[in-house]
């Protein structure tokens, strides 16, 4: 039985991503946290999992990156992009001017900063674990409360929509990845994601030397960012996405050269590019 774990409860954007990934899925498993999704796949409680990894407005989801770097050997097997449309929802009968508290996932609160500052300037905000937990908490609050939520979550819970599309930008998108025991076979239009660090400490030109391998082999780098190494203050892990599949001899040779020039090295997986 194919089952997909995702950050729940039902109604989250992660559920929408799971549905997009799950052509062959027979069950969906909503869990309370991103680490729980990873553990479910590692232990066989789910066949695969869905993790948010990057938002167009707020940047990378650091919890997901740190899990991939430090905690799991699961591979990225696919990616998809979901349009994020946030709505302000509340109990039927609650008006915008009555709201005393606003619930929202921290990422969603950040993505709707302009609306909150302009329309709810004196309202207390409360962080929720997910985009569907937020409306549930608002409905359970005895005070006039509202939440930032997807339309699906509002419909599932019977909440009333007070304002639509309150995100700061219409181009608000989140990239999700599917993780499992292995990555995908080459399709001819693939991406490889990996990371590396330097165990020998800082040395002038060390990062450039590693990345020059890509330039010398004409491999396109589509993303570069860093995360703290979490062992020594001031040391970082560099995360890279490139075009091509790790099973391609040219890509494999370049990865081997980068690994030889670095200390810590880890491939997250190769997977089809989302179009």
Residues assigned a catalytic role: 174, 176
What distance in Å separates the CA atoms of residue 255 and residue 243, rounded to the nearest whole number? 12
The closest alpha carbon to 196, from 254, 245, 247, belongs to 254
Spatial CA neighbour of 128 closest among 142, 115, 117, 141 = 141
DSSP H or E stretch at residue 119? helix 113-119
Q: What is the DSSP letter of 104?
A: E
Q: Which two tokens stand for residue 211?
A: 């990345």
Give the containing element (helix H, strand E) for 194.
strand 190-196
| Paired tokens of 227 | 């995360």
**DSSP state, residue 70:** I
User: 155-178 in b/e burial notation, b at 16+ Cβ within 10 A?
Assistant: ebbebeebbeebbbeeebebbbbb
Collapsing DSSP to helix, strand or coil, 167 comes out as coil
> Would you say 134 and 105 are in contact if contact means Cβ atoms under 8 Å apart?
yes
Beta strand extents in 67-144 (DSSP E only): 75-83, 87-90, 101-104, 124-127
Residue 15 and residue 30 in contact, taking contact as beta carbons nearer than 8 Å = yes
- 7: left (phi > 0), else alpha (psi -120 to 50), else beta? beta
Q: Answer yes or no: are the C-beta atoms of 120 and 102 closer than 8 Å.
A: yes
């Amino acid at each position: 039985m194919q089952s997909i774990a995702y950050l729940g409860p039902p109604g989250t954007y992660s559920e929408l991503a799971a549905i997009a990934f799950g052509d062959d899925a027979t069950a969906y498993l909503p869990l309370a946290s991103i680490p729980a999704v990873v553990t479910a796949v590692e232990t066989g409680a789910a066949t695969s999992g869905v993790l948010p990894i990057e938002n167009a407005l707020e940047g990378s989801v650091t919890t997901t990156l740190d899990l991939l770097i430090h905690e799991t050997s699961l591979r990225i097997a696919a990616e998809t992009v979901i349009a994020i449309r946030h709505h302000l929802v509340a109990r039927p009968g609650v008006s915008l001017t009555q709201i005393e508290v606003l619930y929202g996932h921290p990422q969603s609160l950040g993505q709707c900063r302009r609306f909150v500052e302009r329309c709810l300037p004196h309202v207390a905000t409360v962080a929720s674990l997910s985009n569907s937990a937020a409306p549930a908490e608002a409905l359970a609050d005895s005070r006039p409360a509202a939440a930032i939520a997807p339309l699906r979550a509002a419909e599932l819970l019977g909440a009333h929509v007070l304002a639509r599309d309150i995100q700061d930008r219409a181009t608000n998108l989140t990239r999700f990845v599917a993780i499992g025991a292995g990555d995908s076979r080459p399709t001819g239009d693939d991406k490889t994601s990996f990371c590396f660090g330097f165990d020998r400490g800082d040395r002038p030109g060390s990062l450039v030397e590693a990345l020059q391998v890509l330039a010398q082999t004409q491999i396109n780098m589509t993303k570069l960012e860093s995360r703290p190494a979490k062992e020594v203050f001031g040391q970082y892990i560099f995360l890279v996405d490139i075009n091509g599949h790790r099973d391609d001899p040219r890509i494999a040779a370049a990865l081997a050269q980068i690994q030889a020039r670095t200390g810590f090295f880890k491939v997250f997986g190769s997977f089809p590019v989302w179009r």
